[in-house]
Amino acid sequence: MDVAASLIEPEGLSEFALVVRASLLTYSKGTTLVDPLDRLQNCLSALEGVLLKHEMEPRAHSVANRMSFLLAHGEADREAVKQIVRQIYWLKEQPQLEKRHRESELIEDFTYYAYNVLRMALGNTSAFNSKIQFVTEVDRVGLAP
């Protein structure tokens, strides 16, 4: 809680802490929205803010890989995380699709994953000065044999 409290005032924060702060605000605002697709969009925006090196990176692929590196151990678990992220990006592009129980569960699982990724980023605000440093370290750890 002290780490989150340190992000209240943006003055004096590192570039990475400012990114995490903005992502937490986006995620939090999204949790108050009624429409599941609106909540999902905010959740994705929050994650992309923390996990993408730049705007030109392929979103679904990069977010899926980095979330799997942060949340799962072992290839099977990582693949399961990636599959959920890919499905979420597909679902985001289907605004007219009627949401059934399966889609609601998928959004719920993804939101929980997003919460954990943002919590990890928050816990690392003092360890990294920039988003590039954080993302590079996530990639390094995830791609290590």
Which residues lie closer than 8 Å to 63 by C-beta, 6 or more apart?
A: 44, 47, 48, 51, 52, 85, 89
Distance (Å, whole) CA 22 – CA 63 = 17
pLDDT by residue for the chain (145 residues), tens only, comes to: 566 656 666 677 789 989 999 999 999 998 888 887 888 899 999 999 999 999 999 999 999 999 999 999 889 999 999 999 999 999 888 766 666 777 888 888 999 999 999 999 999 999 999 999 999 999 999 887 7
- For residues 118 and 27, the answer to whether their CB atoms sit within 8 Å is yes
- State the pTM of this model: 0.88
Question: What pLDDT is stored for residue 102 in this prediction?
Answer: 79
